[in-house]
Amino acid sequence: MTPNTQTSNGLANSKPAPVDRVKQLAATLLSERGEASGAQVARELHHVLRALDVDDRHSFQRYLGTEFQPDKAVLRTVAERYLANTTAEAAAALAQAADPPRQELLRRMNMAPGGTGALIAMRSEISAHLHDEPELKLLDSDLRHLFASWFNRGFLELRRIDWQSPAVVLEKLIAYEAVHEIKGWDDLRRRLAPDRRCFAFFHPALPGEPLIFVEVALVKGLATAMPPLLSRETDEEAARTQAARADTAIFYSISNCQDGLRGISFGNFLIKQVVEELQAEFPQLKRFSTLSPVPGFRRWLAEGSDSDTALLPELERDGWWHDLAKSERLRPVLMRFCALYLTRQPSPGSRIDPVARFHLGNGARLERINWFGNNAPRGIQESFGIMVNYLYDHDSIEDNHEAFVRDGTIVRSSDVDALLEP
């Protein structure tokens, strides 16, 4: 008897739908023992995955988030064994049993060429759905866990970016600039002038994709406002003279280029490495500081957390910052609240400012809070134009970092303390 090649609806048997095929490949990949065959399955999986439309990709992401859980029976047995005998071996067995098979599947998906970039893109894609689809949080958590290992400081390479860098990298600097928009190639040339330095961190798994851009201005004294740093000096000789006379390096823009790596720490002391590069080239530099935004300040003030909500109606009036008398009246109040915002102890409902967390975690000191450091629309919208200097003192970076990580201590200057006084 010949096999029936017709389905009940009269259609001939056909290949599974692409989304079902990619699910089959995922299950197969996890069951493979050999590295070579696993790599081949991973390549095919990514090939099929790239061809899926948005809805089918989302279906596969939900599949990853809900399947591939630890074996409950095994986990219960190992947990009971650990509770009965809390040895190091029992703890290791418990950790292994609790490790979801999903993580091993993601590791194997990473074996394919371009696998790392595809997983980063997947995390970027699911981030928009985490609030409404909590089942995706397990997938996000596993990706975060793996990325924290794959993108630690030991794997990152620091490169200087200049006008001779590949055009594709320069285009990405323009595209990824997240703090102060680069308005075309002329503006980019100014950012790469002799009194400026730009660096990028790369990872070997993403050779042409920068992870972080760091832009630096070489100046005299502590810069407290953005307009002078972004002004377009066209005289290259004057810019070289400025660099030779500079005593301060100002980190004025640090941009994370990969949305799928948001929230992943690339290890501490990234800025310290840039400081060392600058010191080697410019031994006369005595001070290394940022001029940073305060992106969470206005939102915190609006929420009324330890703040005076009576200010809000006045601050909502468009153009108040152009009225000198009004802005000077608001200045001491807003400066004090910004100091409170940046120095308060974080709590479950009130997180530390993301830029502050980055710099304090890298060992900086909260040095100075600057009134009207950035009057561009974004600066007004985020923080009423206020900007901050975080100072990187080579001799205290590690102590500052340890104090912040250990108990949340925010090392700060006497100038900041003075703002906190009633």
User: Does residue 5 surpass a pLDDT of 80?
Assistant: no
Structure confidence at residue 267 (pLDDT): 66
DSSP assignment string, 214-269:
EEEEEESS----SHHHHS----HHHHHHHHHH--EEEEEEEEE--GGGTT----S-
Structure confidence at residue 233 (pLDDT): 61
Q: Which residues of 309-329 are buried (b: 16+ CB within 10 A; e: fewer)?
A: eebeeebeeeeebeeeeebee
Query: Once rounded to an integer, what is the mean pLDDT over residues 139-154?
Result: 92
On the CB side of 40, CA atoms within 13 Å amount to 5
For residues 318 and 54, the model is more confident at 54
Tokens 């000789």 -> residue: 237
Q: Is residue 250 part of a domain?
A: yes
User: Does residue 202 surpass a pLDDT of 90?
Assistant: yes
Domain check: are 146 and 166 in the same one?
A: no
| Structural domain boundaries, residue 324 | 159-420
Write out the E strands in 235-364.
248-256, 287-290
Structure confidence at residue 232 (pLDDT): 65
Question: Is 255 among the residues known to form the active site?
Answer: no
Give the residue among 253, 252, 242 at the shortest CA–CA distance from 219. 242
Packed helices 18-31 and 35-51: angle between N→C axes, nearest 10 degrees: 160
Q: Is residue 3 part of a domain?
A: no
Is residue 177 within 8 Å of residue 255, measured between CB atoms? yes
Sign of CA dihedral 295, 301, 306, 308: positive
Domain check: are 22 and 49 in the same one?
A: yes
Q: Is residue 411 part of a domain?
A: yes
Q: Is residue 8 part of a domain?
A: no
The CATH number assigned to the domain holding 409 equals 3.40.630.150
Domain check: are 253 and 123 in the same one?
A: no
**Residues whose CB falls within 8 Å of the CB of residue 126, separated by 6 or more in sequence, listed in order:** 61, 65, 136, 139, 140
Give the residue among 147, 125, 117 at the shortest CA–CA distance from 64. 125
Domain check: are 82 and 228 in the same one?
A: no
Structure confidence at residue 14 (pLDDT): 61
User: What average pLDDT does the chain have?
Assistant: 90
Domain check: are 163 and 144 in the same one?
A: no
- The total of structural domains in the chain comes to 2
Domain boundary among 150, 168, 191: 150
Domain check: are 65 and 167 in the same one?
A: no
The CATH number assigned to the domain holding 113 equals 1.20.140.90
Domain check: are 209 and 302 in the same one?
A: yes
**Residues whose CB falls within 8 Å of the CB of residue 19, separated by 6 or more in sequence, listed in order:** 52, 56, 59, 60
Domain check: are 323 and 223 in the same one?
A: yes
**Residues whose CB falls within 8 Å of the CB of residue 358, separated by 6 or more in sequence, listed in order:** 254
Domain check: are 108 and 88 in the same one?
A: yes
Query: Once rounded to an integer, what is the mean pLDDT over residues 161-187?
Result: 92
Q: What is the pLDDT of residues 288-303, one digit of tens each?
A: 999 999 999 998 988 8
Domain check: are 34 and 132 in the same one?
A: yes
Catalytic residue among 289, 292, 307, 383: 292
Domain check: are 258 and 392 in the same one?
A: yes
Query: Once rounded to an integer, what is the mean pLDDT over residues 157-176?
Result: 95
DSSP 3-state of 109: helix
Confidence of residue 154 (pLDDT cuts 50, 70, 90): confident
Q: pTM, whole model, 2 decimals?
A: 0.86
| pLDDT-wise least confident of 152-166, 204-218, 231-245 | 231-245
Domain boundary among 89, 117, 150: 150
Percent above pLDDT 90 for the chain: 70
Q: Is residue 6 part of a domain?
A: no
Q: Are strands 387-391 and 365-370 parallel, antiparallel or unpaired?
A: antiparallel
Domain boundary among 106, 129, 150: 150
Q: Is residue 38 part of a domain?
A: yes
Q: Is residue 59 part of a domain?
A: yes
User: Does residue 182 surpass a pLDDT of 70?
Assistant: yes
Catalytic residue among 46, 58, 203, 359: 359
Q: Is residue 7 part of a domain?
A: no
Which residues are bridge partners to 203 per DSSP?
Answer: 206
Domain check: are 278 and 169 in the same one?
A: yes
